[in-house]
Every structure is written in C-alpha cells, then in structure tokens.
Amino acid sequence: MFCKTIRQEIPGNFEMETENLVVFKDINPKAPIHLLIVSKKHMVDLSSVDDKLWLEIKGVILKLADKFNPTGYRIVNNSKDAQAVKHLHIHFLGEVGSDRDI
C-alpha cells in the first residue's frame, strides 16, 4: 500500500518529500495532526535503517514540528509483529499531551 502511495498510484498529497522519504496524512488519524514519514525504498522495519537515513528522519521530524508548530507531539514507530503495514514508517502525532494513551 505504501509503495503504491509513494509511486503515486494511489492519489494523495505529500506534505513533504526528501531524497529518501515522503510524508503524508494518515488515513485513520489518532491525533489532530497525524502524519506518516515513510521510506521511499521498501524496508520492512528499523533493522534496515542506517545512520544517514536516521539523520534524514530526524531532520524531517524537526521540519514538521516547525511547520505545524504543535503544542506537543509524539513520534511512534512499530516494528515486526507490531506493524499493521510492513513498510518502514514513523508516525508524527501532533497536538497531543502527556496524558495521551498510545
């Protein structure tokens, strides 16, 4: 599903795009701002991420925080059996407080 979105076979707008990542809205949001940071290259989970990509992910997270200016935000990653979609993605959840359950 994410591969088709990245190739734009499934309609959608990217909030941001870098050399290795795209960012788009989650279709089932769990927060007022719920974006997915997705690797363009198909990787199943964190076990495939190198230091260069981690720095790029960090940069995107900071740019999203600056762009949307949420009062609070959370970054979530699921790996292995915790993943609903077996493609590396990071959830950016904005406008959340410390009392929020995930």
Domains contained in the chain, CATH given? 2-94 (3.30.428.10)
Single pTM value for the model: 0.84
pLDDT at 86: 72
The whole-number average pLDDT for the span 7-33 is 84
The whole-number average pLDDT for the span 19-35 is 93
pLDDT at 47: 82
pLDDT at 23: 94
Three-state SS at 24: strand
Three-state SS at 50: coil
**Residue 91 is a catalytic residue:** no
Marked catalytic residue, from 34, 87, 89, 91: 89
Q: Tell me the C-alpha distance between 65 and 7, whole Å.
A: 26
Three-state SS at 63: helix
Contact criterion met (CB below 8 Å) for 8 and 17: no
The whole-number average pLDDT for the span 34-61 is 90
